[in-house]
Structure 1
Amino acid sequence: MRAVAIDEFVKDLANVKVKDVPKPEINRPNDLLVKITHASITHVDTLYALGHHQNNKRHVQPPFILGNEFAGIVDAAPAHSCFRKGARVFGGKLGSYAEWICVDESAGDVREVPRDMTNAEAVAVGVSGAVSWGGLVKKVGFSVERMGMRAQLKQGEWALILGASGGLGAIAVQIAKAAGAKVIAVVGSKEKAELVQSIGADEVIDYHEPMWEDKVKSLAGGEGVHVVYDAIGAIESGLKCLRYGGRLVIVGFAARGGQIEDIKANRILLKGVSVIGYRFGEEGRRDPRTTKEAWDGFMEMVRAGKIKPVAWREKYGLEDVPRALLDLQAHRVAGRAVVTIDEGAEEGVRARL
């Protein structure tokens, strides 16, 4: 099969290659074999390819197939599976830039595509929804070890979404609105401002404006916001925008190219704020029940019609993955970039519905 295989970390994303590799085989009792129709381009993929992600130290070492989010058609499933052959599914697993993938159903990170969504729309929503729901909305965790720390966003509170036009941010805007919050979105262009307004942002600020953090505080009644959702690594700015006793949730560092900022830690004390790191993948490895809870909570919002897929207008195929990664790295993408791998397989299934 064709796949984006990383035999060694690259120094330039242009050097990522599509190659012929063996088709995966079912070798665990809960495995699903999925024919991939679509995949999405995420910031994590750029870091994995370059070897700059924290997971590259342990979990993700060459050789591996790149890609973390997919949608496709179940080709084979065990007799006890919740999914029948031919079911349309989407989810997250390393190895998604390929024609086929094996997914452990018991890990809880694969879901059936809603009937009124295409596979492309489902992958544009993707794991971003579960991540953002878990960081913004989730109340109490299962295990004492994790302590259940989250933003626990409440109705009527102000939420600031940093990187609001990105794949994670665009879904976070909608989740915050669905939770009843007033949302301020931070973006970097007029086009991206129009996008986040179209999905429900109450206020939009361009981070190129001087002293934009002061404008955030002014919009939120002068004190600042209750919650900051940070997927880009702008922690200093996030701390400035919080009111006393606010909460800052860190889910990623998409704007920093693998370089993490140093912060003035005294701001945390002086403002009495909580800084919460939410590492979705690691939490799922430690307690798979939390993955299921995040997915279930988010999918409830999807079924209620509160979440709109936001896909980038550019079209990519599997051979275009290097270009798509470069577009994302250069911040040219708004919403989620979607790679079409085998649209015909989905069309055949949908025609029978």
Structure 2
Amino acid sequence: MAFETAAPLACAGITVWRGVLQANLNPGEWLGIIGSGGGLGHLGIQFAKAKGLKVLGVDARKEGMALSEEAGADIVLDARLGKEEVARQAREHTGGKGVDGTLNLSDAKAAAATACAITRNHGTMVQIALPQEVSIPFSEYIFRDIRVKGSFLCSQQEAEDMLQCVVQHNIKVEKNIFHGIDQVPTAVEMLRTGQYRGKGVIMIDSN
């Protein structure tokens, strides 16, 4: 594995890998991913597919929706349609029940609520994004019994398992290479304005 492939896995990879593990789903079940077309999301889709899961991606950008499809999501929904419509479409594509578990990778204000809304009754929502506050309607907890977990980084053994998965399943890490530490401001500005897909990688010394 090349260093420029491994670098994003040491952060984005281990973060979303543990989220997939925390969802605790069985092959053939549905995993929803809010923010599926980002640096973590496109990896999460591929990890989930490698584990035999079906994936329903949700993103609010055309570029993100396109990357979700390229990464292998079975269904991709447009978050800009709003929570109720996204939830309706999610149920439509999953036999009327919703996905079995969901990862929330977006810090958008309505993202956590949308993540719960697309999840079936008694299902699990794993919160990975880091907004100041996570807002979820009480009805999701009380009337629908959605279980919410937080997830951050994985253990060394889990990280090693992730690397094996990347190699065995030929996981594609979408990356933007910047040569030299003086390119950091350029990388940050491109990220701020949504000009690159996947993760940024700074090559300090190409040798």
% identical aligned pairs: 28
Aligned to 2:137: 264
Q: How far, CA to CA, are the matches of 2:141 and 2:122 in structure 1?
A: 9
Alignment-mate amino acid for residue 7 of structure 2: V
Structure 1 residue 196 corresponds to structure 2 residue 60: no
Kept in 2: contact 1:217–1:225 (CA 8 A): yes
Q: How far, CA to CA, are the matches of 2:80 and 2:171 in structure 1?
A: 28
- Greater RCO (Cα-Cα under 8 Å, separation 6 or more): 2
Alignment-mate amino acid for residue 188 of structure 2: L
Aligned to 2:196: 333
Q: Deviations over 1:111-147 (max 9, x none)?
A: xxxxxx322122233332222222212xxxxxxxxxx
- Unaligned segments of structure 1, at least 5 residues: 1-116, 138-149, 281-289, 346-353
Q: Deviations over 1:6-58 (max 9, x none)?
A: xxxxxxxxxxxxxxxxxxxxxxxxxxxxxxxxxxxxxxxxxxxxxxxxxxxxx
Q: Find the residue that maps to 1:167 and give its secondary structure.
A: coil
Alignment-mate amino acid for residue 187 of structure 2: A
| Pairwise CA distance, 1:244 | 0.6
Superposition RMSD in Å: 2.0
Q: Find the residue that maps to 2:67 and give its secondary structure.
A: helix
Query: Which of 78, 92, 96 is the matching residue for 1:222?
Result: 96
Aligned to 2:128: 251
- Unaligned segments of structure 2, at least 5 residues: none
Kept in 2: contact 1:156–1:181 (CA 8 A): yes
Alignment-mate amino acid for residue 19 of structure 2: G
Structure 1 residue 128 corresponds to structure 2 residue 12: yes
Q: How far, CA to CA, are the matches of 2:99 and 2:87 in structure 1?
A: 10
Alignment-mate amino acid for residue 203 of structure 2: T
| Pairwise CA distance, 1:341 | 1.5
Alignment-mate amino acid for residue 240 of structure 1: A
Query: Which of 164, 169, 188 is the matching residue for 1:305?
Result: 169
The two structures have a TM-score, normalised by structure 1, of: 0.53
Bigger-Rg structure (1/2): 1
The two structures have a TM-score, normalised by structure 2, of: 0.87
Kept in 1: contact 2:105–2:127 (CA 8 A): yes
Kept in 2: contact 1:153–1:176 (CA 8 A): no
Count of paired positions = 202
Structure 1 residue 161 corresponds to structure 2 residue 25: no
